[in-house]
A and B are shown apart, each in its own frame.
Chain A
């Protein structure tokens, strides 16, 4: 069954630590995206990648980093430079010539 998998579902991080969120898809989609959801602010784009070994900053990239070494994988690292990292993080993918995303089930990150 094709889909997009985010792990872990819940993640706790101490202040000052980096943490990496996993996103894997077996849909053979070229483009992948990371969004962050905060109450009342909708979904805001962090980073996106349209092809392997290439990615671009979204609207709120500060304090985050990504890599796209494989088509199937697009991990997001939340660094200690991110001032307010507690949020729900969503990964999505889509084929190049299609408008709609397929989303993962999300990762809830909490800084303790």
Chain B
């Protein structure tokens, strides 16, 4: 049972435009959400996070939006740059017997074209 889903395996945008990456979850007990960025043959690096008590968090070009009623979050990158080309994973934490483990989505490969 996939509790965190990223239904778009890939996304291609033009440099300077907005990139929107989406993530859906099924467990209403999740209370914290994170986005990680990963380059090939490297470990993921933390990008931005949001608590379930908020609906928006912004850090520079990156903004994460959380819609709890829809169990949906999205990552906006504005403006997109070629260096943003990577795989993006959303992750969720919380739920019953919370052990601090993160549940990851399948990832979305973003390509930003110059």
A–B pairs, 27, beta carbons within 8 Å? A4-B43, A9-B41, A31-B100, A40-B106, A42-B6, A42-B89, A42-B104, A43-B107, A45-B103, A50-B100, A58-B101, A90-B43, A90-B44, A92-B43, A96-B100, A99-B34, A99-B49, A99-B100, A100-B34, A100-B46, A100-B49, A101-B46, A103-B43, A103-B44, A105-B42, A106-B43, A108-B41
Interface class of chain B by DSSP: loop
> Known pairs A35-B104, A58-B101, A104-B43. 18 more at Cβ < 8 A?
A33-B102, A42-B6, A42-B104, A45-B101, A45-B103, A48-B99, A90-B43, A90-B44, A96-B100, A99-B34, A100-B34, A100-B49, A102-B46, A103-B43, A105-B42, A106-B41, A106-B42, A108-B41
